[in-house]
Structures are given as C-alpha cells and as structure tokens.
Amino acid sequence: MAKKQFKSESKRLLDLMINSIYTHKEIFLRELISNASDAIDKLCFISLTDDKVGLSRSDFKINLSVDKENRIIRIEDNGIGMDKDDLDKNLGTIASSGSYRFKQEMEKTDDVDIIGQFGVGFYSAFMVAEKVEVYTKKYGAETGCIWTSSGADGYTVKDAEKENAGTVVTLYIKPDTETENYSEFLEQYRLSELVKKYSDYIRYPIIMDMTRSKVKEGTEGSEKPEYETVTEAETLNSMVPIWQRPKKDVTDEEYEKFYHDKFMAFDKPAKIITTSVEGVVTYKALLFIPSKTPFDYYTKDYKKGLQLYSSGVLIMENCEELLPEHFRFVKGVVDSQDFSLNISREVLQHDHQLKTVANTLEKKIKNELSSMLKKDRETYESFFSEFGRQIKYGIVSDYGMHKDSLKDLLMFYSSNGEKPTTLAEYVDRMPQEQKYIYFAAGESVASISKLPQAEVVLNKGYELLYCTQDIDEFTLQTLATYNDKEFKSVDSDDLGIEPDEKDEKEPENSADVLKFVRDTLGDKVSEVIASKKLVSHPVCLTAKGGISFEMEKYFAAMQPEAGMKAQRCLELNMNHPSVKAMAELIGNDDEKAKKYAEIFYNQALLIAGLPIENPSDYADLVCSLM
C-alpha cells in the first residue's frame, strides 16, 4: 500500500519526538488520554440529543491495557472516533495550535526541556513507540479504519471492520537502549502512577486491569496467610474535576498543570480565581488570568470564551457570551447544573441565565484585578504591560460604555518616575492649583519628555502622562475627565498655566513676523502662532482639531485611504534668539528670512516625529546658511 507523507511541518515535529532526548517522555500518556477524553466529550454531547448513540453518561470510559511480553500499550476510548479524512487532517498534519507553537519554539531554542509546557499532542507517542497504530471508527460511519505509522517515512490508512464508534491507539514500545529504559512504561504500577500524576481530573473513568497478589480469602489474619494473584479492573483516576474540589485541597501546581493542559498555555497564571455562586443560577467557575500574551492573541485565530460544563458534561468549548471583550484574555471553565443539558447552542446564545453568570463573572474578574493592583503591584504591572492594551480597547469600544468600570485599572507612564501610575495616584499628587491632567503622545517616554511643548508643564513641576501606545490618546479622549479633572494634551492652545512674572513680553513686531512665516509656508501649516508654552526651544508643531500627530500616524498605518491628517499649527517662541534673528532679517533680506522659516518648520516636523517632506532639500537649505 502506498505510504502517505506527513505535511512537512508535522514531519519536523515527528522528528523531534522520535529523536527526543527529553527526560519526561512519560507525558505521552497524558496526551493520549486527553485526546481520548476530548473524543468522549464530543460523543457525550451528541448523546444528549441523539438517542441513536445508545450510551449514557456513565457508559463512557477509557481503557488502558498493557502487554509486557509483546511490548504493547493500548489506550481505548468509546468517543467520537475518526474517519479517513479526519485521520489525514488530524494525524497527517499538525492539528493543534499547541503542537505548532511547540514546534516553533523548538526551532528557536532546541531546548527540549520545554516539551512539558505544551500540549504536544498525538505525536508525543513517538517518544516511546517505534510504531503507532490507530484503529478507529467515527460515530455514524459505516466502517472503521486503521492508521499505521513507524515515524517519519509516512503513514498508511486502510479500511477495517470495527463494531462501535471509538478509537484504540496501540503503541509498540521501543526496545531499551544503553541510556533509555522504555520498559518502565510496560509496568502496570508505573502507568497507574502516571494517570494519577497527570490525568487524575479526567472526568471519565480510566480503567486498567491490575494484577496483584492478595491474601487468599479465609487465610487473612492466620499465622501463615496464603497469597494468590488476582486481576481486577480498577479505576485509576479520581474523576473529580478540579473545579469541584475545595480550593484548600488543590495545590497551585495542580491548578497550573490543569491550566497548561487544558488551554495550551505555557505561562504561569498571574491569578487563579475560583468562585462558587448560589443564587438565581448556581455555578462554579475556575478562571485563570494569564501572565503572558498568547502568541496568537491579536490574531483571528485566538478564540475568546470559557468552557461551559453542565454537571460535568462539556457543552461548549468556547462560550463567548461568558466573557466581555475587554477580559477576552481570561481562560477557564464554568460548570452549572442549571443549564439544561439538551439546550442547543443557538438557544444558549440568548440564554438569560448565561447573561447572569457573565455579569457576575465580569465583576469578579474586575475585583480580582483591582485587588491585585492594590496588593501585588508588581504582578499587576506585568499583567498590565501584557494586557493593558485590551483594557484600553475596552474603554474606547461600545461608545465608552465600560469606561467607568475600567478606568481604575489603567496605568500610564508619567514624568513622576520610572514606574507606571494609575489615574487615581496622579490626581492624588496634583497640587491644588493644577487644573488639568496633562498628557503628551509620542513614540517613547524619551522622545515625549523632550517635546518642546512639554517643557512648560514639566517646568511648572506638573506631572505629565506619557501616551506611548497608539490607543492611549483615544482612551483619554473617551474618558474626557477623571474625578472631574479634565485631560489636557500639551498640544492644546491654552494649557491653563499662567506665565511666570519674569517671562519676557512678546516683541511688538510679532504679528508681522507671524504673517511672514505663514505666507512663506503657505498650505503646509494651518496656523502660525506666538507660543505661550515654549521656554527654551524656538519652535514646535501642535495639532489642532482633535486629531493628534500620533493619531495621524495610527490612521496612516491602519486606514491610509482615509487620508486622516492632523491640522498643523506652528508655534514660535518669539523671544528665542533665532526667531529674533529671523525677525531682524524680515524687510532687510527676505530671501534669507524665508529660509529661516522653512528651517523652523522642518525642525518642528522632526521634533514631532513626522517625516520631513524632502530631506535633501532640507539639508541643502541648512548648508546654504552655513
């Protein structure tokens, strides 16, 4: 029979697995059991509404068996099974994002110790097996099939009779080598140990025939007890889902393991939230706030939602309605007996019970984040650097509907110090006479703090918020005020700061100078004014009409066709020696004065981080005056 080839990236993953020198090869069992459990979840869900399945909740199970002599391990489930197409799609290519991510990381680091952090999936079987056989029948299909592979040279699929839906995975365990003892996996006790270690919370029984010696009946307690060997089917796992166990009985490691296995995550959660609610809807939830942004978080592949269980039966993998957009990074499960089991997914979407749960969960998450901010600042800061953007989107979206509930979760860098600040802290530090909350936007803290128009605010000793993310200014615009204090961009005309007494008065010829510059620059600027805020710099460019330069850059990247432009207002420091020098030239040497005006304009563009229209002309211009 012709061998089919693995898709190339799957082949690479397979190679990694086959040649793995990884010490925790034992995780193959966890992966195969977890696949079996997922397959059962699917059929179990169908059985709720389809009598033809002919199985009830308690009939679903996973059988584990081992044949030491022939070096074989079998994992059997009565789940949904696969047909030929599924086999090609699922076992011929990297199916899960977990394994894909793993492959990518491996290619970067070649550090095999990271295997345990990923849901590496089916291919991990090849860490211990020289050949793998998958005998399976899909629910509803006429016939079954067998998939066989000895690794990288490909796989075969052929038809095979099989009575019931489900899958049997057979592993032909590798012979021992000088350094590797694969035979340990052929010991019942070792497998049973592994199930307890990694798969205890699997909600279906994992059953294995355990052989052990036992004291013969009637001889126990006697002087010479007699022993016999018995084989009994034993359920190896406790089957209590982790979210049903009291928090005090569960270790952080167990929660983390669950988080990694279930959600393909590999970070340590920033916060583990458990909640048990009795009321209109009674439910338990176990939620995780990640500490790292998942690699696909800002792509369409990332699915928002919580897993929804009804009395231990998984009814939805990603129930989106349970989470608001602004908390889409949260992972977890919700289990409630109040959701009727035969509910269809469409009905579920409009279920008001679901809304009730979603509302209480949103409050819970918000409170947990607030308390993290108060009690564990460092963790919060690192959380915010990962997901702050999402919170800001939350404020801006839906016409600012969520701004009041989210505003206290915000953090910004500011001139107050290295660490980010909350708005409440900023307002607390404001001197009595300070009218506004000042902010400035730019690419980095360093570039903003050097903006000429920031100087007057900073010189006055007022704190300045640094808007370094493109979404920041939109966020502050949406908020408009915090604690009745208005936000004010340093670009605004009137910063509400009185000039110091000692400041020089504007020269008398100001109006003529401004008109001259305006005429010289023409359409390039919308206005030329005498600055009230420049201190030591000669010029700056400020934006008028609500669109700032940072927004202009943002729109230029996002919707270039819209041609969204900030209105450019050139501010001149009339008392600056170089501006005075230009004023002197006007009327005496207008050509030279025009050159000054052009140079001022280009300098202002550079400082604002905007491209100058023609760099070589500008260079020539500067040289012509040198």
Cβ 98 to ligand ADP shortest distance, Å: 5
| Near ligand ADP by CB under 6 A: residue from 10, 78, 99, 478 | 99
- Interacting residue with ligand ADP among 15, 48, 57, 96 (CB under 6 A): 96
CB of 45 to ligand ADP, least distance (A): 13
CB-based contact 552:565 (threshold 8 Å): yes
**Rg (alpha carbons) of the chain, rounded to whole number:** 34
Give the three-class secondary structure for 334.
Answer: strand
Cβ proximity to ligand ADP: between 77 and 473 the closer is 77
**Are residues 427 and 384 in contact, defined by beta-carbon separation less than 8 angstroms?**
no
* Polymer length of the chain: 626
Closest CB to ligand ADP among residues 95, 146: 95
Write down the residue that tokens 């010490």 correspond to.
23
Cβ of residue 119: shortest distance to ligand ADP, in angstroms?
Answer: 5
DSSP 360: H
Which residues are bridge partners to 481 per DSSP? 486
Question: Of 151 and 538, which has the nearer Cβ to ligand ADP?
Answer: 151
CB neighbours of residue 350 within 10 Å:
9
| 39 versus 437: smaller Cβ distance to ligand ADP | 39
- Taking CB under 6 A as the criterion, which residues in 252-291 touch ligand ADP? none
Q: How far is the CB of 76 from ligand ADP (least distance, A)?
A: 9
Region near ligand ADP per CB under 6 A, out of 93-101, 191-199, 477-485, 608-616: 93-101
98 binds ligand ADP (CB under 6 A): yes
Q: Cβ of residue 472: shortest distance to ligand ADP, in angstroms?
A: 37
Stretch 23-42: interaction string toward ligand ADP, x if CB under 6 A: --------x---xx--x---
DSSP for 389-425 reads: HHHHHHHHSGGGTTHHHHGGG--EEETTEEEEE-HHH
Angle between helices 590-607 and 615-624 (to 10 degrees): 130
Q: Where are the alpha helices (DSSP H) in 508-576?
A: 510-521, 549-558
What single letter denotes the amino acid at residue 350?
H
Q: How far is the CB of 559 from ligand ADP (least distance, A)?
A: 37
Cβ nearer to ligand ADP, comparing 121 with 151: 121
Closest by CA to 293, choosing from 274, 270, 272, 273, is 270
**In 220-370, at which residue ranges do the beta strands (DSSP E only) sit?**
227-235, 271-277, 283-289, 306-310, 313-319, 331-335
| Minimal distance, residue 122 CB to ligand ADP, in Å | 4
User: Using the rule CB under 6 A, which residue among 46, 48, 72, 95 binds ligand ADP?
Assistant: 95
Nearer to ligand ADP, 261 or 368 (CB): 261
Nearer CB in complex with ligand ADP: 100/555: 100
HEC secondary structure over 237-251: CCCCCHHHCCHHHCC
- Shortest Cβ 378–ligand ADP spacing (Å): 33
- Give whole-number Cα distances, 482 to 48, 78, 305, 402, in Å: 51, 58, 31, 14
Which one of 7, 65, 88, 90 is in contact with ligand ADP (CB under 6 A)?
90
- Residue 40 or 566 with smaller CB distance to ligand ADP: 40
Q: Which is nearer to ligand ADP, 31 or 200 (CB)?
A: 31
Cα 569 off chain centre by = 40
Q: Determine the Cα–Cα distance for residues 65 and 68; give it in Å rounded to an integer.
A: 10
Closer of 28 and 439 to ligand ADP (Cβ):
28
Minimum distance from residue 1 beta carbon to ligand ADP (Å): 21
When the beta carbons of 26 and 31 are compared against ligand ADP, the nearer one is 31
CB 284 within 8 A of CB 361: no
Nearer to ligand ADP, 62 or 541 (CB): 62
**Binding residues for ligand ADP restricted to 344-373, rule: CB under 6 A:** none
CA distance 317 to 250: 24
Q: Candidates 95-103, 201-209, 554-562, 603-611 — which segment interacts with ligand ADP by CB under 6 A?
A: 95-103
Task: Return the closest-CA partner of residue 151 out of 51, 363, 6.
Answer: 6
Buried (b) or exposed (e) across 248-284, using 16+ Cβ within 10 A? Answer: eebeeeebbbbbbbbbbbbbebbbbbbbebeeebebb
At its nearest, how many Å lie between ligand ADP and the CB of residue 106?
A: 15
CB of 154 to ligand ADP, least distance (A): 17
Whole-number Å distance between alpha carbons of 497 and 490: 11
Quick one: CA torsion of 188, 194, 197, 199, rounded to 10 degrees?
A: -100
Between residue 419 and residue 458, which ones bind ligand ADP under the rule CB under 6 A? none
Taking every pair of C-alpha atoms in the chain, what is the biggest distance, in angstroms? 125
Residue closer to ligand ADP, measured from CB, 82 or 129: 82
Amino acid found at 142: E
The terminus-to-terminus CA distance of the chain in angstroms comes to 82
Taking the complex as a whole, the smallest distance from the CB of residue 256 to ligand ADP amounts, in Å, to 18
Residue placing its CB nearer to ligand ADP in the complex, 98 or 452: 98
**Residues within window 107-126 making contact with ligand ADP, judged by CB under 6 A:** 119, 121-122
Within positions 154 to 183, which residues make up the interface with ligand ADP, using CB under 6 A?
A: 167
Nearer CB in complex with ligand ADP: 95/547: 95
Residue 416 CB, nearest approach to ligand ADP (Å): 46
- Closest distance to ligand ADP from the beta carbon of 146 (Å): 14
Shortest distance, position 75 Cβ to ligand ADP, whole Å: 8
Contact by Cβ (8 Å): 126, 132: yes
Residue closer to ligand ADP by CB (options 166, 332) is 166
Residue span binding ligand ADP (CB under 6 A) among the ranges 87-95, 154-162, 335-343, 405-413: 87-95
Binding mask 462-481 for ligand ADP (x = CB under 6 A): --------------------
State the binding string over 63-82 for ligand ADP (x if CB under 6 A, else -).
Answer: --------------x-xxxx
Helices (H) and strands (E) in the chain, counts: 19, 22
Cβ–Cβ < 8 Å for 27, 132: no
Q: How far is the CB of 32 from ligand ADP (least distance, A)?
A: 7
Measured distance CA(148)–CA(3) in Å, rounded: 10
Q: Contact between 341 and ligand ADP (CB under 6 A)?
A: no
With tokens 């936000």, the residue in question is: 487
Question: How many residues of this chain bind ligand ADP (CB under 6 A)?
Answer: 19
Angle at 278 between CA 275 and CA 284, to 5 degrees: 35
Task: Check the CA dihedral 93-99-259-238 and report its sign.
Answer: positive
What does the binding site for ligand ADP look like in residue numbers (CB under 6 A)?
Answer: 31, 35-36, 39, 77, 79-82, 90-91, 95-96, 98-99, 119, 121-122, 167
